[in-house]
Amino acid sequence: MTARDDILALGKRIGQSIIGQEEMVERLLLGLLANGHLLVEGLPGLAKTRAIKSLAKNLNAELSRVQFTPDLLPADITGSEIYFSEGGKGEFKFQQGPIFANLILADEINRAPAKVQSALLEAMEERQVTVGGKSYPLPELFMVMATQNPIEQEGTYPLPEAQLDRFLMHVEVGYPDEASEAAIMRLVRSEENNAEQKAKSVTSERLDPQAVFDARSEIGTVTVSEPVEKYIVALVFATRYPERYDKDLAKLLQVGVSPRGVIGLDKVSRSYAWLKGRDYVTPDDIKAIVHDVFRHRLILSYEAHASNTTPDKVIDRIIELVAVS
């Protein structure tokens, strides 16, 4: 099997236990392929936690779940130096925290104070943890999936824009349709009746992480033509200088997309094209994923908030205004 066959098979196995959320499963794979982190936002019970757990079950990777709470400390994530005494002699040894796993589920990241959020986000960016003046590298296969609830804002600490920018994609999860809802009931019923048999079958089919590294190497060779590059840059500049395109659009935007947005759009569009079986990127690939890459990087104006204009509506308008050269 090729690397693409392995990744598609991985997605199919995850999809068997995550019904009605095909787009979230696809974004999870894209984050893995593009070597980035995901911020997933949705109401409770929409399989956000289940999705990354399913990924860990089907991929030979270690999963750590951190439930973010107001009393969480940075050391609870990164680990800390602990004093050990043996034979009359004592020394400090570093005890690794949950951040040293391959897949990290940061559940309700906006529940923890800024200092704790910063500890996680520094590890995401630097791919290492520094404690006591010594740096400890994180695993080569490393991805953080942070979740947050869009409706419960009391007692939360919203992520600052500069920290949001470190997430490759911001994925919004909605309710499944009626047919999927019925299928979910049947799936859970079946899992309860066949729990032991299902656990054995999943364990035997776990994918070696080398397939992910091979896929990333192939994605590195995906071609982005000059017109497509110009289209990516034009979309970004339309968020920074909207007055060049439309006066009404300019009233809705306060701050545009950062250079990380350009890099992210390039990475994810190449991963998306590869996943679809092509060795080149098309404008349609960019349109398919631009909302997830830009959504959390736009700062809307007061006028936009007052008129209930969402980032997605602004991005839709930008796509309409920016032509493919």
The pLDDT tens digits for 32-83 are 999 999 999 888 778 888 888 889 999 999 999 998 888 888 888 888 888 7
pLDDT at res. 148: 85
State the pLDDT at residue 153. 63
Q: Which amino acid is at 199?
A: A
Decide the pairing of beta strands 89-96 and 79-86: antiparallel
Please calculate the CA angle 81-87-93 and round it to the nearest 5 degrees. Answer: 10
Crossing angle of helices 48-58 and 3-17, in 10° steps, is: 140
Contact by Cβ (8 Å): 23, 184: no
| DSSP for residue 81 | E
CATH of 220-321, one of 3.30.460.20, 1.10.3210.10, 1.10.8.80, 2.40.10.10: 1.10.8.80
Q: What dihedral angle (degrees, nearest 10) is formed by the CA atoms of 288, 289, 292, 297? A: -110
Cα distance between residue 211 and residue 21, in whole Å: 24
Residue 152 has pLDDT above 70, yes or no: no
pLDDT band at 190 (very low <50, low <70, confident <90, very high): confident
Mean pLDDT of 121-133: 83
Which residue intervals of the chain bear CATH 1.10.8.80?
Answer: 220-321
CB atoms near residue 137 (< 10 Å): 11
Per-residue pLDDT for 202 more than 60? no
3-state secondary structure at position 167: coil
What angle, 0 to 180 degrees and rounded to 10, lies between the N-to-C axes of helices 259-275 and 22-33?
110
Model pTM above 0.85 = yes
Question: Rounded to an integer, what distance in angstroms lies between the CA atom of residue 173 and that of residue 19?
Answer: 12
Average pLDDT, the chain: 87
Sequence-distant (6+) residues with CB within 8 A of 122 are 129
Tell me which fold the domain 3-204 belongs to: Rossmann fold (3.40.50)
Beta partners for 147?
Answer: 40
Residue 199 has what pLDDT?
52
